[in-house]
Structure 1
Amino acid sequence: MTLKHQPAYIIKMRAKPGQGDRLFELATVGMEKSGASDRFVIAREDEDPDVLWNVEVFRSEEAKDAYENSPLADELRDEIIGLLAEPPMRIPVHPYSALPAAPS
């Protein structure tokens, strides 16, 4: 399977004032625990530290569906929604191109 066939999301979430650190913690833990993602980047806006951007590329459509219907996703979703100042933006996409990770 090539990257171009993997489902992905671009997500933007804005935490309530003072809740940004918890939002970032939950988002990161969720990505690490789920095992559904091939790769992800969670970024914090320089001008507004309560805004989270996430680009998540799933291993497969099946992995994405399994995670989205899992108890972990339900648990995280409920807590994350409670931290948000506004509804999240989630855009389904498929990667067009990406460079491989640089060696460490």
Structure 2
Amino acid sequence: MTLQDQPAYIIRMRAKPGLGDKLFELATIGMTKSGASDRFIIAREDDDPDTLWNIEVFKSDAAKALYENSPLADELRDEIIDLLAEPPMRIAVHPYSALPLKEHV
């Protein structure tokens, strides 16, 4: 399987004021505990520290489906939804490139 065959998401979530740290903690737990991701980036907006951007690349369609239907995902989803100021934005994508920059120099 190539990187371009792997399913991925770009997700934007905005926590209620002051709950950004908890949102980032739960999102990081989900990425590291699930084992479904091949790689991920969790970023915080400079101008809005309660806004999280997550780019998650799954190992495979099967790994993505297994995680999305797992008790861990259900538990984290409920906790995360309670922290949000608005519905999350989630866009399904497939990576085009994810090479370290030093390989292109």
Partners of 2:32 and 2:84 in 1: how far apart?
21
Give matches, 1:65-104, under 5 Å.
Answer: 65-100=65-100
Q: Does 1:53 align with 2:53?
A: yes
Instruction: Flag the 1:47–1:100 CA change in 2: closer, same or farther, 3 A.
Output: same
Shift of 1:84: 0.0
**How big is the alpha-carbon RMSD for the aligned residues of Structure 1 and Structure 2?**
1.1
- Taking structure 2 as the reference length, the TM-score comes to 0.95
Give structure 1 regions of 4+ aligned residues with deviation exceeding 4 angstroms. none
Q: Does 1:13 align with 2:13?
A: yes
* Secondary structure of the corresponding residue to residue 18 of structure 2: coil
Shift of 1:101: 8.1
* Secondary structure of the corresponding residue to residue 46 of structure 2: coil
- Taking structure 1 as the reference length, the TM-score comes to 0.96
Per-residue displacement from partner, 1:45-72 (whole Å, max 9, x unpaired)?
A: 0000000000000000000000000000
Q: Which amino acid aligns with 1:19?
A: L
> Could you say which residue in structure 2 is the equivalent of 1:63?
63
> Could you say which residue in structure 1 is the equivalent of 2:42?
42
In structure 1, list runs of 5 or more residues that go unmatched: none
**Identity percentage over the alignment?**
80
Partners of 1:50 and 1:69 in 2: how far apart?
27
Q: Which amino acid aligns with 2:39?
A: R
Shift of 1:100: 3.8
* Secondary structure of the corresponding residue to residue 23 of structure 1: helix
> Could you say which residue in structure 2 is the equivalent of 1:28?
28
